Structure 1
Amino acid sequence: MVRNYKNIMVPVDGSEPSIQAFKKAVHIAKRNGANLYLVTVVDKVDNPEEAEQIERDREGFFAALEAYAKHENQHVERKVKFGNAKKLIAEELVKDWNIDLIIMGATGKGNIAKMVLGSITKHVTKHARCDVLIAR
């Protein structure tokens, strides 16, 4: 069965897997005529220095990703959210934005990034109430 996705979310953290997931998401959104939501989740409790750096760098990072999407004629909504990434991505944002597909990298920048499947990605695949595509 072929599904036509309408609202696609891509969590990014600056890691290469998340950037590759974003690029794939741009093409999937374009094929489906879908809305594309780009989100970075910052947990200030876990790593305050990293949170501050993400806040400082996000404009340039988002601008580069948006330029890629614009080149592909795909509009992107971008958000920075603060809190628990697992809960926000798998539950709250899916509901708030009516997400029907999450596309994310297999691993991220966190301390768990060296594992086969990152802890956030693993949590999202298990708990999200929509389809999840893991990009490599």
Structure 2
Amino acid sequence: MENYKQILVAIDGSTQADKAFQQALDLAGKYQATLGIASIVDLRSFSPNVSYDGTLEKEAMERVTTQIKEYVNQAEKAGVPEVKTYVESGNPKRLLAKEIPEKFEADLIIVGATGMNRVERVVLGSVSSYILARAMVDVLIAR
């Protein structure tokens, strides 16, 4: 296993993401690495039938920002030397596989295993599978 210096973890409030975060905390502590915490508001999840004036996105971004602050507090209490956060809206697959890891200069990406059932994975494809297939750095899938 490499001596990772820039560990990026994706969170979404799920149990799987919490497991990924715990793995990231352990490794960031072990390697004294910088921890990047990323959460993406997937705009595609908003129904086109709802009158959309930006309020839904704003509320989602506020929830995610509050959630990320809790993760940052945990990381600081665990002694992680440096924590950076990424709260963005858009396509989580693209953002987490390429854009944010490049910006953060990640050498490891940690994501939770998908919570989708078999049919959902076939139709939608999981974010974790997409990242695993396309990331240019090591990927750890937490279960």
TM value normalised by structure 1: 0.85
Unaligned stretches of 5+ residues in structure 2:
48-54
Corresponding letter in the other structure for 2:128: T
Contact 2:43-2:91 within 8 A present in 1 as well: no
Residue identity in the other structure for 2:140: L
Does 6-15 or 64-73 show the bigger shift? 64-73
Paired residue for 1:54, among 54, 60, 65?
Answer: 60
- After TM superposition, give the deviation of residue 106 of structure 1 in Å: 0.1
Deviates more, 1:56-65 or 1:95-104: 56-65
Q: Equivalent residue for 1:98?
A: 105
Higher radius of gyration, 1 or 2 = 2
Tell me the secondary structure at the aligned position of residue 4 of structure 1. Answer: coil
The separation in 2 between residues aligned to 1:114 and 1:4, in whole angstroms, is: 34
Cα deviation per residue 1:42-96 (whole Å; 9 max; x = unaligned)?
A: 1223326874443232233122212211221113211211211111111111222
Identical aligned residues as a percent: 32
Residue among 67, 70, 79 paired with 2:76: 70
Indicate the residue corresponding to 2:8 in structure 1.
9
Q: 1:61 is paired with a residue of what secondary structure?
A: helix
Which among 127, 133, 136 is matched to residue 140 of structure 2?
133
What is the rounded CA distance, in whole Å, between the counterparts of 2:57 and 2:15 in structure 1? 18
In structure 1, C-alpha distance between the alignment counterparts of 2:65 and 2:11, rounded to whole Å: 13
**Unmatched tracts of structure 1, length 5 or more:** none
Structure 1 counterpart of 2:88, which letter? K
> Offset of 1:132 from its aligned partner?
0.3
Rounded to whole Å, the distance in 1 between the matches of 2:104 and 2:71 is 20
Q: CA RMSD in A?
A: 2.1
Shift of 1:33: 1.4
Matching of residue 33 in structure 1 with residue 32 in structure 2: yes
TM-score, normalised via structure 2 length: 0.81
Deviation above 3 Å: which 4+ runs of structure 1? 48-53, 115-118
Number of residues paired by the alignment? 131
